Amino acid sequence: MVAVSLKKKNINTAGKEELDLLPGIGSVKAQAIIDGRPYGKIEDIMKVKGIKEGTFNKIKDMITVQ
């Protein structure tokens, strides 16, 4: 059994390695998330190139801005 962290990742402070672990987010998108900071709400992550509603729906319960 693999242990999964239930703690939400703060997209304003998480490191590239942490963001890379989110479903549908690789190292390129992780860096784009970092470059697009700060975010006022989690939906703002969809402004990042390559992150559309489908990806957002996969990760929305795993991310926070607080």
What is the mean pLDDT of the segment spanning 19-41? 97
From 10, 5, 12, select the one nearest 39 (Cα to Cα).
12
pLDDT at 7: 87
List Cα–Cα distances, 50 to 3, 33, 41, 47, in angstroms. Answer: 28, 10, 18, 9
Q: Give the single-character DSSP code of 11.
A: T
Would you say residue 40 has pLDDT above 70?
yes
> pTM, whole model, 2 decimals?
0.89
Confidence class for position 50, pLDDT limits 50, 70, 90: very high
d(CA 66, CA 62): 12
Q: Which two tokens stand for residue 43?
A: 């939906």
The predicted model gives 5-26 an average pLDDT of: 93
